[in-house]
């Protein structure tokens, strides 16, 4: 039986009845309960319940050509409703564009989102010059970068709101403390998740269905625990920059750590599935240790 890292979404979604009972009693909801609460409503009711992030997420997927017809068929929306939702979606994107181009954000997650988005826009501007892209294509790709940046910000914010304490998620590995902070989270979500959600291409590898962005911190914690139990990596989380290479369900992944200060504390810089070329290189230069249940550890020769 494959390693069951964490039951997908079970951590996030609770019973609706318990949440509505708290609302009726006037008890404030936790971030987890607020996300669950918004997930309970049909699209048309989200505006009246201050669930703008959930609304944007649904409209974002509805706007994807590969999912649009199926979502419309399932939800049975008429043309007037679709037209109204399209206008709401455009306004949400315009508001986000005004917010994301600002460079004076104080919220760490918003600040990192500004940085990632502006880097992508700079890359687009460079490519437009080098490849002499027509203006309509540049405008289209800019629109997609902006709309995707809001979607990924919402995704990262959900993780941070529910799982982070003081802007980070802390776990243990190899007798040290390992943290996933806002920078690492946004970098991973920006580059390596939701390939199907992007209408523009990039050169980065993307996660399969074995890793979900909202579960990723807990999944990593489960993997660290399994590797620690094997004692094969013991004493290797040392130095300023360190990496971990493992395989899960036939796919090889790399995690890069950076030591924080002089103590035994490390930050996850990035985490991604190795592409085909890197996989060949890893297999040719590492021992593979099978840990069972679909998990394996790679150690250098």
What was the pLDDT predicted at 207?
Answer: 62
Question: 294 exposed, middle or buried (CB, 10 Å; 0-12, 13-18, 19+)?
Answer: middle
**Bridge-partner residues for 270, per DSSP?**
256
CB neighbour list of residue 243: distance below 8 Å, 6 or more residues apart? 254, 255, 256, 257
**Dihedral of alpha carbons 50, 52, 54, 55, sign:** positive
Residue 192: predicted pLDDT: 66
Structure tokens at 266: 């490390």
Supply 291's token pair. Answer: 């840990």
pLDDT given at position 36: 85
Other residues' Cβ atoms within 10 Å of the Cβ of residue 26: 6
H or E stretch at 36? helix 31-39
What is d(CA 189, CA 205) in angstroms, rounded to the nearest whole number?
Answer: 12
Cα distance from N-terminal residue to C-terminal residue, the chain? 29
C-alpha 143/C-alpha 199 separation (Å) is 10
Q: Which two tokens stand for residue 10?
A: 């079970």
Q: Which residues pair with 246 in a beta bridge?
A: 253, 297
* Helices and strands counted in the chain (H then E): 10, 7
Q: What is the pTM of this model?
A: 0.84
Residues of the chain falling short of pLDDT 50: 1-2, 7-8, 11-12
Dihedral of the CA atoms 159, 206, 43, 96 (nearest 10)? 70
**What confidence score (pLDDT) does residue 198 get?**
53
């Amino acid at each position: 039986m494959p390693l069951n890292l964490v039951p997908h979404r079970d951590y996030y979604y609770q019973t609706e009845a318990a949440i509505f009972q708290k609302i009726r009693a006037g008890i404030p909801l936790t971030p987890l309960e607020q996300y669950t609460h918004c997930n309970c409503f049909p699209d048309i009711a989200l505006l009246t319940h201050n669930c703008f992030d959930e609304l944007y997420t649904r409209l974002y997927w509805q706007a994807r050509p590969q999912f649009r017809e199926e979502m419309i068929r399932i939800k049975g929306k008429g043309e007037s409703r679709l037209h109204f939702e399209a206008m709401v979606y455009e306004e949400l994107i315009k508001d986000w564009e005004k917010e994301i181009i600002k460079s004076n954000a104080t919220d760490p997650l918003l600040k990192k989102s500004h940085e990632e988005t502006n880097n992508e826009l700079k890359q687009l501007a460079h490519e437009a010059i080098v490849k002499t892209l027509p203006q309509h294509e540049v405008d289209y790709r800019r629109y997609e970068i902006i709309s995707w940046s809001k979607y990924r910000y919402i995704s990262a914010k959900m993780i941070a709101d529910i799982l982070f304490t003081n802007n980070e998620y802390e776990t243990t590995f190899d007798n040290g403390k390992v943290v996933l902070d806002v920078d690492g989270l946004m970098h991973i979500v920006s580059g390596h998740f939701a390939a199907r959600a992007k209408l523009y291409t990039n050169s980065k590898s993307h996660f399969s269905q074995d890793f979900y962005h909202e579960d990723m911190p807990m999944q990593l914690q489960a993997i660290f625990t399994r590797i620690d139990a094997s004692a094969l990596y013991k004493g290797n989380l040392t130095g300023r920059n360190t990496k971990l290479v493992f395989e899960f369900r036939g796919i090889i992944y790399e995690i890069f750590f950076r030591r924080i200060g002089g103590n035994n504390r490390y930050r996850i810089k990035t985490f991604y599935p190795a592409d085909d070329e890197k996989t060949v290189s890893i297999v040719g230069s590492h021992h593979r240790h099978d840990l069972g249940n679909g998990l394996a550890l790679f150690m250098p020769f």
